[in-house]
Chains A and B, each alone.
Chain A
């Protein structure tokens, strides 16, 4: 029985590796579809054809795509992310500090939104049909139906424009005290928490409601179990797999959310870096940022699936 679980986990990891390769290739392929020649873009309009040809040679741009992909992949494995076209700094150096900033933002948001969403989702399922449930449901539909930037602009309108509690922009470097820190993170974190929790609440609620309609929960009712016992002892342990999945899927919305939120609040993270790189068509930087996001997303989904496998009682 134990080896069955191990097998499934290994199989799942293998799938992740295959997926990662496909994704990396897709990212690489998409960015090398650039119309116009990278070398001529780099050298500018005034470059001589000889200079362009020389640079093409030096950058191996004449090699077939698959070879360039393998070379890029090989570089990645050695921690070589390439050099930024825009300012000729190593990409790794550009990303370094900003990566930490983004992880901080994502981490704080996760710590806030997961407990909040699980509580709301589970309680809404327990009180299904009540006014509380309906309010939670309508609010979460409302939030998932609007773009992230709207949640962000609303947050700015309310907290910065009308209430004047918080500054509209973030600048991590200016944090001198705890209050500063709270003020800096507050707006991005509030926005992201709203965006992510809404999805998580809906999915958690649905997962719990589904297990609540199983025969073994009815059996518990006919044993005289209280409502909370039915939910906590019988429904929740069996809804664990779907709930973990919901959490992982919702956290993956962080990626989309972070792109908008960092731009809107001018937060110095990799998403902002990437949006700027898109504007300057800085390919190595775009590739690396995209890779980091995809990797993060894949790790989340894989972790969720593995937890679901381990928590499945039938595999014990």
Chain B
């Protein structure tokens, strides 16, 4: 055998809640050489995590490996008994989970869990294991490598936990490490540190890896080869350079195309019509202090302006206050101070004090269509409610309008009878959007509406939004952590950090950002270029000042 891993014609079945058996992996084959890192890339439901876990002989509850061979280091994981597999887990093959925060046992110290592999497999005495762990912490450039192990998982940040789980994987000197979307839940500025740490320890140890991700740009930085999965089948395999420059399969091309969004035609005639202006708005949580402001300020004296027919993007990392800002504007979370002027009139801070027309003209669309659509109602009822509530349309007029709205968001009319659970993620988000359109709004606040969608689906939704804007003369406030999405649709971009507005620029000036945080943020967005991470030079002072780590 020449390769470390040889998977041949792997088949995995899943039993649905209804008891039906579906084949979710349909004959996947792949090879991994010693020390080689391959990436498994694909959208949600493509089976990439399932394939990765099968390399450890593990199938999640409800799934079953039904066919094929999984040869890892000369042993067929599919044929071994559970006891024999347990012997190889942690020693030959190790796993770095998607959410380290959920994968650390909250009631035990980090060190205990990092060295647990050495206890289970009796690899070395605990003293030696602890020393080895501290070395790994240092190699993964974790702060306070001597002391961090004594802490409990909830006392450590997400980016650090992700690196600690890599230490947990590496302590048993595995030949193969499986990374299951390890940076997906992290902010971009944190993601870079984690990626760099992973890359350097893997290179140093000559360890082979499987990197599961949906993000081509991230994968380009770390993988030698890329395997593109869709619908439980391998679509294309190639070296990273091949895939990036000369992709063969249409699906891979679509993935790549989604990465280069078409910039919106810049609005030439700068309209002078103000639609929304907010001045020095402050909002937050916790006890109200003497000056009438809350103890914790999520939004701190932010001002912004949206003109008719133009779009404002708000970008920032988790916890910067951008979602709170959206809720403040919509009146869901009333501001503690500041003014909101909408279409020439002062708006009350709380939604319940605003007039019905004011509520109608400003709509908000949320990130998770799953929770934004009532699962107990069919699509037509969901879309028809604003029609009845705001426009008092009768049954027949409503029904006609629902059809029109479905046409507008490019959904087949027959979908109106379905329940949200019977729709795909992209379809749900379109219904979510159609409901906002039903109100005939002037402004739609989009709170991370593409973040939960796969890349290709998200870019289609963005295209739809642009089209609707042309037809209906809407304005959007587009809140996102994803620069490429904001760049694609917005005329102005506002950068938020720690509740404050740090800078506002136009998309074509992103490269020329002046504020140090904007510079750090924009430079941290991974590029499709495989040399990007290695060539990236960051000002360490900036990173320590603004990085959440």
Contact = CB atoms under 8 A, between A and B. Distances in A.
Question: Do A and B touch, yes or no (CB under 8 Å, in the complex)?
Answer: yes
B86 A224 contact: yes
B154 to A, nearest CB: 5
A2 interface: no
A215 B102 contact: yes
A18 interface: no
A224 B106 contact: no
Given A215-B99, A234-B105, A223 B116 contact: yes
Contacts of B116: 220, 223, 225
A266 interface: no
A226 B86 CA distance: 7
B90 A222 contact: yes
B117 A224 contact: yes
B103 A216 contact: yes
A224 B91 contact: yes
Interface string B86-106: 111111001101010011111
Contact of A223 (B60, B99, B117): B117
B292 interface: no
A44 interface: no
A259 B67 CA distance: 60
Interface string B202-220: 0000000000000000000
B121 interface: yes
Contacts of A233: 105, 108
A313 B86 contact: no
Interface in A180-231: 213-216, 218-226, 229
B535 interface: no
A314 interface: yes
B152 A316 contact: yes
Size range of the interface on A?
20 to 34
A222 B98 CA distance: 13
A136 to B, nearest CB: 21
A40 interface: no
Contact of A213 (B61, B89, B95): B61
B109 to A, nearest CB: 10
B89 A222 contact: yes
Contacts of B86: 224-226
B175 interface: no
Nearest to B95: A222
Contacts of B61: 213
Given A213-B61, A313-B152, A316-B152, A223 B104 contact: no
A287 to B, nearest CB: 42
Contacts of B154: 313-314
B123 to A, nearest CB: 11
Given A213-B61, A219-B95, A225 B120 contact: yes
A223 B106 contact: no
A238 interface: yes
A79 to B, nearest CB: 42
Given A213-B61, A215-B97, A222 B105 contact: no
Contact of A229 (B91, B104, B120): B120
A44 to B, nearest CB: 63
Contact of A215 (B87, B103, B152): B103
A224 B88 contact: yes
B150 to A, nearest CB: 12
Contacts of A313: 106-108, 152, 154
Contacts of B88: 224
B58 interface: yes
Contacts of A229: 120
A224 B102 contact: no
A231 to B, nearest CB: 12
Contacts, number: 72
Nearest to A212: B61
Contacts of B168: 223
Size range of the interface on B?
20 to 34
A236 to B, nearest CB: 9
Contacts of A316: 152
Contacts of B56: 222
B90 A223 contact: yes
B180 to A, nearest CB: 10
B58 A238 contact: no
Nearest to B60: A218
A224 B107 contact: no
A237 interface: yes
Interface string B370-403: 0000000000000000000000000000000000
Contacts of A221: 58, 89
Interface string A282-315: 0000000000000000000000000000000110
Contacts of A224: 86-91, 117, 120-121
Contacts of A314: 106, 152, 154
Contact of A238 (B60, B95, B106, B121): B106
Contacts of B91: 224
Question: Which of B60, B91, B106, B152 has the most chain A CB atoms closer than 10 A to its own CB?
Answer: B106
A234 B117 CA distance: 14
A229 B90 CA distance: 15
B95 A220 contact: no
Given A224-B86, A314-B154, A238 B117 contact: no
A237 B95 CA distance: 23
A283 to B, nearest CB: 47
Question: Which of B87, B103, B117 has the most chain A CB atoms closer than 10 A to its own CB?
Answer: B103
B117 A216 contact: no
A219 B103 contact: yes
Contacts of B87: 224
Given A213-B61, A219-B95, A238 B105 contact: yes
Contact of B105 (A213, A216, A226): A216
Given A221-B58, A223-B116, A223-B120, 18 more contacts: A216-B104, A216-B106, A218-B103, A220-B105, A222-B56, A222-B90, A223-B89, A223-B90, A223-B94, A224-B86, A226-B86, A229-B120, A234-B105, A237-B108, A238-B106, A313-B107, A313-B108, A313-B152
21 contacts: A215-B102, A216-B104, A219-B97, A219-B103, A220-B105, A220-B116, A221-B58, A221-B89, A222-B56, A222-B89, A223-B116, A223-B168, A224-B87, A224-B89, A224-B90, A224-B91, A224-B121, A225-B116, A313-B108, A313-B152, A313-B154
8 shortest interchain CB distances as A-B pairs: A224-B89, A313-B107, A224-B90, A215-B102, A237-B107, A223-B90, A219-B103, A222-B95
Interface of A: 213-216, 218-226, 229, 233-234, 237-238, 313-314, 316
